Amino acid sequence: MRAVTEAANAIPLLIPALGERLGLDELLMHLDGILFTGSPSNVEPYRYNGDPSTPGTLHDAARDATTLALIPRAIGAGIPVFGICRGFQEVNVAMGGTLTQRLHEVPGLLDHRDDAEQPLAVQYAPAHDVTLEPGGFLARLAGATHARVNSLHAQGVERLAPDLIVEARAPDGLVEAFRVKDAPRFALAVQWHPEWQVMSDSFSRSMFAAFGAASRERAQHK
């Protein structure tokens, strides 16, 4: 919420996870942008025809019912969308992609998890570089070809949805950021957490600033 206020210069409102009971189409009429945040929970695998999760995996069926329905509606309505971590994975699933649930068990992939026993400052510290796609939105924002990001996820993109375009990859080739092809307005998602100490990182701050600018532009053209 602080990142939305300080870096996007916007007023954050929380959307309750009530699924279709919210009246999603009416809700969207009152919003200028939507941030899909991270969470300790994972998207339920049946949502993308995946195998059952390992026992003990946290899920949030109410959030799934809310976000997976909101994402395509918001993008289609030209409402700016910004997905972070779980939100990144939700956008991929909502658009028809799939997820790998345990990246650390896949040969050739890095262990992208954080150490939950460490202080937050260590968990959210920069963990690896990402390569920004030449000519992409993030490369233009960063003014660079690489960026250093944190890493706090066990699962990630397996198959990228057809209408998503890669914006960044981890050293092991894993998709770490994408944008929505031909979206009317800002529609970006990243696997890392740019909201962490956002005002002290120019690249993170620029993402939220672009999201905020797109949301204000949307507000002027409702």
Q: Locate 221 and state its tokens.
A: 């053209």
Annotation marks residue 176 as catalytic: no
**For residue 23, what are the CA distances in angstroms to 68, 70, 72, 173, 176?**
14, 10, 15, 39, 32
User: Looking at 85, 90, 133, 176, which residue is catalytic?
Assistant: 85
Find the catalytic residue in 44, 167, 176, 195: 195
Cα–Cα distance for residue pair 71/193, rounded to 1 Å: 19
Helices assigned H by DSSP within the chain: 2-6, 24-28, 61-76, 86-94, 120-123, 137-142, 202-220
With vertex at residue 19, the alpha carbon angle to CA 82 and CA 218, rounded to the nearest 5 degrees, is 35
Active site residue 59: no
Residue with token string 């706090």: 152
From the list 90, 112, 153, 193, the catalytic residue is 193
Residue 12, exposed/middle/buried by CB under 10 A (0-12, 13-18, 19+)? exposed
Q: Distance between CA atoms of 91 and 154, rounded to whole angstroms?
A: 17
> Does residue 85 have an active-site annotation?
yes
Active site residues: 85, 193, 195
